[in-house]
Structure 1
């Protein structure tokens, strides 16, 4: 397993070499680390969790739309590593269920999927989550904030994916929803702390924007 993990780390490092959207190599490494911590508490299959966490973005719709449906990057790599077809299917199922999709978001069907999904969502929270939100916004030509654009709630998967928003609205439309969407006790505990920090940040942002901090 250690050899396959090492090969997977090298693989994603090359895949995300020039990514500056917040879905970079280090994001995947953080998800891998946190997913492993959660998996230990949940008695999950560590190999499946590790590989799914490391590979969860290699076929992500926004990053690789041409391979998204069939998870071609993940499948091809795992076959090269002689991972069994059964385990490849399990890993692809986890990857398919991991993403936030508005009201159409799913609770993963396996404990391994819950570990990976919680870890991925935790990386969207806290100090790093704030940094990633603005990195992604700048990378996709989003305004930081515009009072004329109000947050939109209750979106379907298609509405969420096509929605044009601001980076600050993204906190309300997605990030502040994640704590209550955690599937594991470990995920919820970490999320509570990280969300609290983010809410304090947004409160300070709005106070400065409105000139109420002096």
Structure 2
């Protein structure tokens, strides 16, 4: 298979596997991350094939989808071997994916990892990020808002402070930083409007 055929094969597998996923990590989230990554890579000197491939598979083994256990490396390796990719590419993709997660706190060591990390984080903020925040909170049984508790993971609103409001300043590339500004401002206005409606100061 050539590179385009490989990417189409991967996309088909991801669509089949993630289409009905209900925590905000569904196929269309992954597709948006790929779109974000392709937009960023247009302005960066990077391996576009590696970027797109890693973006497609970045959630295959995510701990949130596997009972708190990260299975990324083994599941990505198994899948990419099944479509006959060589070990060098698989190793590079796993390295990129290992540096994407917010919770792991890893700093990207390549421009490809920076781009995929940015692409994933962009989909966690703005209007889509708000929707995904509440989708994930609902899927895990988290409450909407508790004005008496601002501890970590106390509510979906608390997640804005735990993670989402931090992402703008953690973007790596100029393109992502520019996109993040508007999305961050939208989230801030949403949370303020939420507080206005629930009479919370």
Q: TM-score range by the shorter chain?
A: over 0.9
Structure 2 unmatched ranges of 5 or more: none
Deviation at 1:194, TM superposition (A): 0.4
> Residue 127 of structure 2: SS of its match in structure 1?
helix
CA distance in structure 2 between the aligned counterparts of 1:50 and 1:181, rounded to whole angstroms:
21
1:64 positional shift: 2.6
Report what 2:178 is aligned to. 189
- What is the TM-score when the length of structure 2 is the normalising length? 0.94
Contact residue 179 and residue 192 of structure 1 kept, 8 A? yes
Alpha-carbon separation, structure 2, partners of 1:67 and 1:200: 35
RMSD over aligned Cα atoms: 1.7
Q: Secondary structure at the match of 1:62?
A: helix
1:72 aligns with 2:42: no
For residue 86 of structure 1, the aligned residue among 78, 85, 88 is: 88
Q: CA deviation at 1:2?
A: 1.2
Shift of 1:149: 1.0
Is 1:59–1:65's contact at 8 Å kept on the other side of the alignment? no
Distance 1:77-1:198 versus aligned 2 partners, 3 A rule:
same
190, 193, 196: which one pairs with 1:201? 190
SS of the residue corresponding to residue 195 of structure 2 reads: helix
Aligned residues: 199
Aligned to 1:126: 126
Using the TM superposition, name which of 112-121 and 7-16 deviates more.
Answer: 7-16
Which of the residues 158, 172, 193 maps onto 2:161? 172
From 23, 26, 29, the counterpart of 2:25: 23
- 1:39 is displaced (CA, Å) by 1.3
Task: Report Cα offsets for 1:24-44 as digits up to 9, x if no partner.
Answer: 000000001111111121111
1:60 alignment counterpart: 62
- Note the 1:100-111 alignment, pairs <5 A: 100-101=102-103, 105-111=105-111
Per-residue CA shift, 1:9-59, capped at 9, x if unaligned? Answer: 111112213311000000000001111111121111011000100000001
Deviations 1:98-143 (A, max 9, x none): 1112xx6122111000000000000001110000000000000011
The residue aligned with 1:158 is: none
Q: 2:147, 2:200 within 8 Å by CA — same for their partners in 1?
A: no
Say if 1:171 and 1:138 are closer, same or farther in 2 by CA, change over 3 A. Answer: same
Matched-pair contact (CA < 8 Å) for 1:151–1:172: no
The alpha-carbon distance between structure 1 residues 207 and 60, as it changes in their structure 2 partners (threshold 3 A), is same
